[in-house]
Each structure stands twice: as C-alpha cells, then as structure tokens.
Chain A
C-alpha cells in the first residue's frame, strides 16, 4: 500500500528558531494535509493543500504541495513553546475514502 516517509522523526529546538519538516512518497497524492497533535488530544488540521505547487500559510506556518505531487513540507517560523507536539502529514487520493498518514515528527521547543 501507499506509505509516507516523514522526517525528521523528532526535533529539539530553541524558542525562536525556525523549523522545517517534510513528507515524501513513492505515490502521487491529490491532497496533502498537515496536522498537529497536542499531548493527550486528537490531531487538529493545520493546513490543507489541494494543488501541485501550492504554497499556503496559516500564521507562522507555511506548507507546500510538491510539484511532483509526491512530497510536501511544513515550515514553522519563530517557534514558541506552544508549538510543542507531534506533527503529522497525510496524503489523500480523491475518492479513496481514507488518508495515508506519516509517522509524525515530535517537536520539542526549549524556552
């Protein structure tokens, strides 16, 4: 089946630093999604990308849908302590009924 390779697996950064994480796949997706999971909670959708090459921002977050449709990245600028959590990428093929999730990037921000 389809698999997403999400990297890095974990990141330890200082408050104020920028963060970059990405997802790659051997398969093409029509939609890329990025989620954040706070400890003990369900993941929450951050950004959805629907078109190859699309670059979308949500506050300090920026995500891009790769031109090949096989990858996506998420950047967080000027990190703050509340950015701590697990970030998941997900790829979706229209009408497939389900998304394919990456294994997550665990972000730790030191004050």
Chain B
C-alpha cells in the first residue's frame, strides 16, 4: 500500500535561519508531488508541484524553493526564513490511477 511520510511534525525556527522539510512517498512510482501551505483556519495555498524528477513548477513567488532529487522525494527549502513563512505545510501525492491527493500529516512551522 502507498504511504506518505512528512517530517518534522513541528518546527520552531528563528527569522533568518534556513529551512528544509522532507516528504517521501512509498508504494508508488512516478507520483505527482505537491507542497501546500495553510494559514490558521484558512484554505490551501499551492506552493510547488512536480510531475517528475527535477521538474518543479512554482505557483507563488516567495523565498521558498523545492527540489525533487529522487522519484519519491520532495524537499521544501528556504535559505532565510521570514516571519510570514509561519504556517502549516502539507505535502501530497497523486497519480493518474488516483486523481485524488493523499496528504501527509503536515509540519507546523513557527518562525520567531
């Protein structure tokens, strides 16, 4: 069966520090991968998505970046965090056999 792992669950980082959030998927190949951010009680903002290794589409210009070094690994990074980067970050995957997304359990990031 397919599983998605996202870590860490919570993170408190100072302004100006770097960020690396990792997401891995098991049990499927060539998935579409997504990074979303959710402000408290709000909707889902698509940050990046990838349809293949090394292919990254950016939806919202900001100081975040994403990389897909392996087929089932998706990484969200920042060189210098801003206060406005705080939020709930969700990774998700989908494929042509299952158009619905399977989301990870999320990372709550607080920038202080």
Residues of A within 8 A of B (CB): 31, 33, 35, 40-45, 48, 50, 86, 88, 90, 92, 94, 97-99, 101-104, 106
A48 to B51, CA, bound (A): 21
16 CB contacts below 8 A, A to B, read: A35-B100, A40-B106, A40-B108, A41-B105, A41-B106, A42-B90, A42-B92, A42-B104, A43-B90, A43-B103, A88-B43, A92-B99, A97-B32, A97-B57, A99-B101, A102-B43
Is B112 part of the contact surface with A, judged by Cβ < 8 Å? no
Chain A residue, CB-CB nearest to B105: A42
Find out whether the CB atom of B100 lies under 8 angstroms from the CB atom of A33: yes
B74 at the interface (CB under 8 A from A): no
CA A9 – CA B21 in complex, angstroms?
30
Main secondary structure of the interface of B (DSSP, over half): strand
* Distance, CA A98 to CA B46, complexed state (A): 9
Contact A45/B101 with A101-B43, A104-B43 known, Cβ cut-off 8 Å: yes
**Which range contains the number of B residues in contact with the other chain?**
20 to 34
Candidates B102, B105, B108; contact of A45 at CB < 8 Å: B102
* Known contacts A88-B43, A97-B32, A97-B51; A42/B99 CB under 8 A: no
Interface flags for B12-31 (1: CB within 8 Å of A; 0: not) read 00000000000000000000
Known: A42-B92, A90-B101, A104-B44. 18 other contacts (CB 8 A): A33-B101, A35-B100, A40-B106, A40-B108, A41-B105, A42-B6, A44-B103, A45-B102, A48-B100, A50-B99, A92-B99, A97-B32, A98-B32, A98-B34, A101-B43, A101-B46, A103-B42, A104-B43
* Docked CA distance A31–B101 (Å): 12
User: Separation in Å of the A51 CB from the closest CB of chain B?
Assistant: 13
Q: Pick from B34, B51, B94, B101 the residue with the most CB of A within 10 Å.
A: B101
